[in-house]
Amino acid sequence: MVLDEFLAPQELERLSRYVEEREKDFELSEVIAPGATAASVDFEHRRSRVLFDLGEHEAVITGRLLSYLPRILPSVGMEPFPIAQVEAQITASNDGDYFRPHEDNGGPPLHTRELTFVYFFHREPKAFRGGELRIYGTRETNGEAPAGTDYRAIVPQQNQVVLFPSHLMHEITPVDCPSGAFLASRFTLNGWFHRPE
């Protein structure tokens, strides 16, 4: 499900200013490999930077999404479920950054993720190309859902949020950001709604 014009202009402006003020707090992104219990940096699989302290912005976005859940869940083919936790981060993707095909709830400690959300925002005019979110149709093989050739490509649009079941394979295509400037990055406030254990 795609929702446009998700934040009010002043909310988007405050979020953009918050990111600008916290550039030094962004860390290299990590991944949790299948069967692993700890995260690690793996540039073969993912390259970007993340910020975990979202200040007031986490509550603004997740609160609004929670209020929309009765409408969102049927649209993405999901039944209502109790929300045990909401997890969120801001991701900055700059020149050459990407995230190879993956699912968000592959195993412990991520197996309780049910619904993924990705909120896009960036400086205007947009100073990057690429960075598409590709969501693949799920085809299980031996209990795994490899990425196939059928996918929906979502080009990052300002102030837009995308929601989908966390078990769907997806990827971020490489970002082309010629300036390399941090503030020219493809930014997302992304996260997950968790079900109880």
Q: Check if the beta carbon of residue 95 is closer than 8 Å to that of residue 174.
A: no
- Does residue 138 belong to any structural domain of this protein? yes
Question: Would 58 be classed as within a structural domain?
Answer: yes
Can you give the pTM of this predicted structure? 0.93
The domain that contains 93 carries what CATH number?
Answer: 2.60.120.620
Q: What band does 178 get if pLDDT is binned at 50, 70 and 90? A: very high
pLDDT (average), residues 158-182? 97
> Is 139 a residue whose pLDDT tops 60?
no
**φ, ψ for residue 82 (rounded to 5)?**
-70, 135
Please, are residues 161 and 3 in contact by the beta-carbon 8 Å criterion?
Answer: yes
Q: Is residue 123 part of a domain?
A: yes
pLDDT over threshold 80, residue 34: no
For 101-116, what is each residue's pLDDT tens digit?
A: 999 998 788 999 999 9
Task: Please report the pLDDT score of residue 37 as a whole number.
Answer: 72
Q: Decide if 38 is inside a domain.
A: no
Is 162 within the bounds of a domain?
Answer: yes
Number of separate domains in the chain = 1
Distance CA 47, CA 39 (A): 14
Residue 114 lies in domain = 2-33+43-194
Residue 67 within a domain: yes
Average pLDDT, integer, range 21-36: 89
Amino acid letter, residue 24: K
Please indicate, yes or no, if residue 102 is contained in any of the structural domains: yes
Q: CA quadruple 151, 156, 161, 166: dihedral positive or negative?
A: positive
In a domain, 85, yes or no: yes
- Calculate the average pLDDT of the chain: 93
**What pLDDT, in 10s, does the model give residues 59-111?**
999 999 999 999 999 999 999 999 999 999 999 999 999 999 999 998 788 99
Give percent of the chain above pLDDT 70.
Answer: 93
pLDDT greater than 80 at residue 140: no
Strand residues in 94-141 grouped as ranges (E): 98-102, 113-121, 129-130, 133-136
